[in-house]
Structure 1
């Protein structure tokens, strides 16, 4: 197997095992579990959503490496186009968003996002797989693979829709259980909470834009759709 295929395989295994361990290997003390009204488990956290997204993406990348019949200088297959779209609109922006928001809040006041008591039962290696590895792996993917991007509008809408779905999930949990997923949301008054949520959308949009900008720097060309790239080659 090529180095790229090995990389995709390793990332798929790491994310797959970490997703499993996150749910079945992390055992919270009874007093912490009792204090949480929500019973939705790991699926209520954006970091776990990101873990699943990264696992699915790198698994599909590995399978594409192994089974794809596409050859150089030919148009990409449908699965490859889907991977390109997912990487630019969700995978990279979500990795950047998750890592920057977590560590930004962590170093500001860790009790707002990852209370110190978690250190007793939440492994350090898992913390870094969940909150550090996604961006590192996404950057390496961008350096190694030249991908085609959707139009800015399509990628922007997909990016926004993903975050809107997750935030709707957070609000649903808060409405039905009275338990905010993140302590920082619980501590903010309603007006400031609304501004904070809007700020998250702005940050996610910035992360999407950063993805396209970094791509342009690396590959010395604007982020364009596969169709436009193909049309240029045929001129």
Structure 2
């Protein structure tokens, strides 16, 4: 995001929306969550090595699992599916051709396609403990509310819709899309809770079979 050269394009959307509000795209927020999760995993591994044990401190495991279950899984699944569904219907509504001038296709795939592959691998090799559903959904709700505030603030202050899709919709369908998207993300949280144990490899499940939900 910091290395994108917006001067390669003279497109209005690229300069007046994408460049100005580059930190308000949900894809960027999701990618940031993934980076934080990765750093948490590395911290856990370092703590294990320093203490010469295969059993991590409970608090770091709780933090890692909470980030993954509450934000990582539902956010990543939503970003991938939402982007490519809209892209296949009409790419101008989510990724106009002018965007590819400043954002190469390999970057686009790294933040919209590869992330789902990483998600599946992570769920396959790591058994994540879910906290109380009310707590996980509350954290997700706070996360989405903070994002929505900044999203609508861009329109209120500059009259700009971050996503081209919102530009072609009237207010009724904008609100309907917002409600549907929010409901879908909450649904993905519950889906992750249901799939958590089922996707873990058999041998790994035997090793971690004594780990219970907290």
Q: Give the shorter-chain TM-score range.
A: 0.7 to 0.9
Match of 1:206 in 2: 187
Any stretches of 5+ residues in structure 1 without a counterpart? 1-21, 221-226
The C-alpha deviation readout for 1:66-110, integer Å capped at 9, x for no partner, is 2234845x6742122101111000011111011111111111111
Any stretches of 5+ residues in structure 2 without a counterpart? 203-209
Q: TM-score, normalised by structure 1?
A: 0.78
Write the distance in 2 (CA, Å) between the matches of 1:207 and 1:145. Answer: 18
The two structures, once aligned, show a CA RMSD in angstroms of 2.4
Match of 2:212 in 1: 229
Higher RCO (CA 8 Å, separation ≥ 6 residues): 2
Is the 1:97–1:203 Cα contact (8 Å) retained in structure 2? yes
Write the distance in 2 (CA, Å) between the matches of 1:228 and 1:216. Answer: 11
Write the distance in 1 (CA, Å) between the matches of 2:52 and 2:72. Answer: 23
Is the 2:86–2:94 Cα contact (8 Å) retained in structure 1? yes
The C-alpha deviation readout for 1:17-60, integer Å capped at 9, x for no partner, is xxxxx221343513336762676432011111111111111122
How many positions carry a matched residue from both structures? 203
Q: Where do residues 176-187 of structure 1 align in structure 2 (5 Å cutoff)?
A: 176-187=157-168
Write the distance in 2 (CA, Å) between the matches of 1:189 and 1:158. Answer: 30
Match of 1:16 in 2: none
Residue 139 in structure 1 maps to residue 139 in structure 2: no
Match of 1:43 in 2: 23
